[in-house]
Amino acid sequence: MRRSQPSTNSSTKTISTTDRLKAFREKCGIIETSSAPVKSKTITLRQELIKYETFDKNEQSFASFWKKYVNLLPQLSNMARRYGSVPASSVPCESSFSIANHIVRKTRTSLTPKNLKYSLFLKDKM
């Protein structure tokens, strides 16, 4: 018995190669400009920063801006929520000054401002 093999011509190979290249680009998150834009499932922080730069941030308050764009900029909105909030009490601030006063005492006058900054940061985060 003789098997029949499908005939392949050069146009079929070109199409399949093009399709494979397109699939590879989609998996890498590369959007082709000549065809319809392909949405990436996850957007990188760098792409979010580029999008953020295009928005007009002066027309609204900090909170309303992030509520409006929470779905478009999920990683940045999480960072804004975490680092952009004001503490409800003055205890953390007073504690920081107390720790700074303890670290910068007369016996440690050779401590550079840079090392002091890092020491306070580490003390606060640990």
pLDDT of residue 4: 52
In the chain (126 residues long), the average pLDDT of successive 10-residue segments reads 52 64 75 55 84 83 87 90 78 78 71 82 74
Stated pTM of the model = 0.39
Assess contact for 38 and 31: CB atoms under 8 A: yes
Phi, psi of 97 (to 5 degrees): -65, -35
Residue 18: HSE in the Cβ half-sphere, 13 Å Cα cutoff: 8
Phi, psi of 112 (to 5 degrees): -75, 155
